[in-house]
Structures are given as C-alpha cells and as structure tokens.
Structure 1
Amino acid sequence: MIIALVNSKGGVGKSTLAGNLAGWLHSHGHRVVLADCERPDRSAPASPPMVDNSADDTPTIDCAG
C-alpha cells in the first residue's frame, strides 16, 4: 500500500499527519517507510538525505533538496 499526502502549500500539517499515520500503522503491525520530501527551495542551502531512528525503530528519510 502506498499513501501520499500532497499539497504545494507549506504549513498545512502534511509532515505531522504523515508521521502520526506512519506511527499508527507501525503500532498496528504494518511495515512503514516514511519519506518526507520537500520541493527544493532556492533560498535554502542543499542538505544531504538524513535518516532519523531516534523515536523508535521506524526510520524516516528526509529527502530535502
């Protein structure tokens, strides 16, 4: 199953909803990969992809830029 939360406007809660949904699915036995991708912003410096496993064993991938 693939779930996409898409909206071009920032600040509408996409990342929060995606994180909460991924956590809920994981807590109910589903295998989850969460990719939070932002459109490149020319005013922001490029950053490499990062993986954060600090909250639990569900990795998140930030693929900004």
Structure 2
Amino acid sequence: MQLFMILILFALVWLTFGMLALGQRARRLAEGGENEADLRARIRALEAIVTDQDRQLRRDFDGMN
C-alpha cells in the first residue's frame, strides 16, 4: 500500500513539473518565442505521458485489490 502511495505522489510531482514547464512554454508562445506547432506537439507528448501513467496507476491499483 505504501508503494502505491509513493507511486501516486511521484506521478503528481511529475505532472506538476510538467504543467509548470508547459506554462513557461505557453508564455514564450505568447511572447512570440516559440511557434504554435511545436507547442501543440509538446502538449500531445505530455498528454500521452499522463495517459500512460494513469493507465499504469489504475493497473497497479486494480492489482492491489
């Protein structure tokens, strides 16, 4: 159970830093430093990571019950 809680905490920290990085990139886009296609590709990559982590956590949780 503790391992599951550690995994959830790690995922939340990972997502927090990912969202902070995404916010910085959005700010750069607003300033004209990064093009929209690059930003959209990075958003899709982050969404894929989040989706994969969500699936893994659900599998781990289902395996514990």
User: What is the TM-score normalised by the length of structure 2?
Assistant: 0.39
Larger Rg, first or second structure (1 or 2): 2
User: What is the TM-score normalised by the length of structure 1?
Assistant: 0.39
Q: Which has the higher helix share?
A: 2
Q: Which has the higher strand share?
A: 1
| Greater relative contact order (Cα < 8 A, sep 6+) | 2
